[in-house]
C-alpha cells in the first residue's frame, strides 16, 4: 500500500514592514542632539582647561620678561652713568697741567668713543679740538728742517683714539702740527688735515681716500703703497715725499709745490689724476733723472 506524499508546506506570509512612529523618530533625534551637545560641551571644557593650564605659564613668562627688561634697563642706565662719568673725568684730565694727565684724558675719551655710541661723536670732536689747541701748526714749524723725531706724545695719543671714531665724518684736524707721525696701515678716511704740518711722517699702506690735505706741509712724508684716490692735495708741499706705489687715481695734485715727475714713478695714476703744469707721469721702464 502506497503512502501518499506529504502535502507541501504552506508558504509563510511576508513580514510586514515595521512602521516607524513619529514618537520613535523624535526620540532618536533627541538622543542624537543630546550626544552632539555632550560632545560640544566636552570640547569646550577641554579648550577651557587648556587655556586655564596656560595661565600659570603665561604669568611666569610675563614675570620673567618684566624682570629681564628691568635688568636690561638697569644695565643700560649703569652703562650710561659710567660713560657720563668717564666723559666728565676725561674733560677734567684734558685740562691738566702735566703731559701724563692730558694723555690719560685722551685715552679715556678714546674708551668712551669705543664703548658708547651716543657719546662717540662728542668725544671724537673734543679730541680734535684738543689737538688743534695744544699742537697748532706754525710758520716756524713748517720752515724747520725735516727730522725723524717721533711725533709729540699727545699727537700720537689722539690719533690712536681716532681709531674708534666709527662712522663720525668730517673730523677737523686741520692746522695741527703732527710732524714725524708714524701711522702705517691706518684708516684716515673722514679726517680733514688741510693746512696741517705732517712733515717727516709716514702713512705707508694707509687708506686716505678722499682725505683733504689741501695746503698741508708734507715734506718727506712716506706715502708708499697708500691709497690716495680722490684725495685733495691742492697747494700741498710735497718736497721729497715718497709716492712709490701710491694709488693716485682721481687725486687732485694741482697747485702742489715741490712735486717732480720723478716722484710719480711707480705711482698708479689714471686720466682723472690732476697734475700741476709741467709735471708728467714717467713711462714705466723709462729712466728718470734723479731729483736734485
Strand partners, 136: 176
User: Could you tell me which of 168, 74, 183 has the C-alpha nearest to residue 113?
Assistant: 168
> Contact, 176 vs 130, CB < 8 A?
no
Supply the pLDDT for residue 123.
97
pLDDT band, very low/low/confident/very high, at 4 (cuts 50, 70, 90): low
Is the pLDDT higher at 115 or at 20? 115
Supply the pLDDT for residue 292.
36
Average pLDDT over residues 102-120: 95
Supply the pLDDT for residue 289.
38
Supply the pLDDT for residue 121.
97
In a domain, 262, yes or no: yes
In a domain, 112, yes or no: no
pLDDT in tens, 257-285: 999 999 999 999 999 999 999 999 998 64
Q: What domain range is 268 assigned to? A: 182-285
In a domain, 32, yes or no: no
Average pLDDT over residues 225-254: 96
What's the CA gap between 110 and 32, in Å, rounded?
A: 81
In a domain, 52, yes or no: no
In a domain, 237, yes or no: yes
Mean pLDDT, the chain, rounded, equals: 87
In a domain, 252, yes or no: yes
pLDDT band, very low/low/confident/very high, at 286 (cuts 50, 70, 90): very low
The count of residues in the chain is 292
Neighbours of 266 (CB within 10 A): 17
In a domain, 99, yes or no: no
pLDDT band, very low/low/confident/very high, at 117 (cuts 50, 70, 90): very high
Supply the pLDDT for residue 43.
77
Q: Is 70 exceeded by the pLDDT of residue 63?
A: yes
> Contact, 208 vs 186, CB < 8 A?
no
Which CATH number fits the domain that encloses residue 276? 2.160.20.80
The tally of domains found in the chain comes to 1
DSSP summary character for residue 25:
H
> Contact, 231 vs 210, CB < 8 A?
yes
pLDDT band, very low/low/confident/very high, at 12 (cuts 50, 70, 90): low
pLDDT band, very low/low/confident/very high, at 249 (cuts 50, 70, 90): very high
Supply the pLDDT for residue 284.
66
In a domain, 233, yes or no: yes
Q: Is 50 exceeded by the pLDDT of residue 65?
A: yes
What is the model's pTM? 0.71
pLDDT in tens, 134-159: 999 999 999 999 998 999 999 999 99
pLDDT in tens, 170-197: 999 999 999 999 999 999 999 999 999 9
User: Could you tell me which of 263, 251, 259, 250 has the C-alpha nearest to residue 277?
Assistant: 259
Average pLDDT over residues 223-248: 97
Amino acid at each position: 500500500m502506497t503512502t501518499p506524499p506529504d502535502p507541501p508546506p504552506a508558504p509563510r506570509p511576508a513580514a510586514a514592514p515595521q512602521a516607524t512612529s513619529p514618537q520613535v523618530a523624535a526620540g532618536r533625534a533627541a538622543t542624537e542632539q543630546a550626544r552632539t551637545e555632550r560632545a560640544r560641551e566636552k570640547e569646550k571644557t577641554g579648550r577651557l582647561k587648556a587655556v586655564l593650564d596656560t595661565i600659570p605659564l603665561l604669568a611666569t613668562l610675563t614675570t620673567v620678561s618684566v624682570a629681564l627688561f628691568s635688568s636690561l634697563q638697569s644695565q643700560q642706565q649703569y652703562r650710561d652713568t659710567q660713560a657720563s662719568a668717564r666723559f666728565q673725568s676725561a674733560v677734567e684730565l684734558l685740562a691738566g697741567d702735566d703731559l701724563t694727565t692730558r694723555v690719560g684724558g685722551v685715552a679715556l675719551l678714546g674708551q668712551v668713543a669705543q664703548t658708547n655710541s651716543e657719546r662717540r661723536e662728542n668725544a671724537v670732536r673734543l679730541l680734535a679740538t684738543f689737538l688743534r689747541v695744544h699742537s697748532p701748526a706754525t710758520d716756524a714749524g713748517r720752515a724747520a728742517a725735516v727730522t725723524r723725531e717721533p711725533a709729540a706724545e699727545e699727537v700720537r695719543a689722539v690719533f690712536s683714539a681716532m681709531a674708534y671714531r666709527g662712522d663720525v665724518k668730517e673730523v677737523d684736524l686741520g692746522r695741527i702740527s703732527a710732524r714725524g707721525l708714524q701711522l702705517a696701515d691706518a684708516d684716515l678716511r673722514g679726517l680733514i688735515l688741510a693746512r696741517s704740518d705732517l712733515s717727516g711722517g709716514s702713512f705707508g699702506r694707509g687708506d686716505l681716500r678722499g682725505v683733504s690735505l689741501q695746503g698741508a706741509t708734507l715734506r718727506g712724508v712716506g706715502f708708499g703703497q697708500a691709497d690716495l684716490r680722490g684725495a685733495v692735495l691742492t697747494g700741498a708741499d710735497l718736497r721729497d715725499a715718497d709716492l712709490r706705489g701710491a694709488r693716485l687715481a682721481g687725486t687732485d695734485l694741482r697747485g702742489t709745490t715741490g712735486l717732480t715727475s720723478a716722484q710719480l714713478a711707480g705711482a698708479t695714476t689714471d686720466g682723472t689724476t690732476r697734475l700741476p703744469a709741467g709735471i708728467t707721469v714717467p713711462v714705466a721702464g723709462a729712466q728718470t733723472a734723479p731729483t736734485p
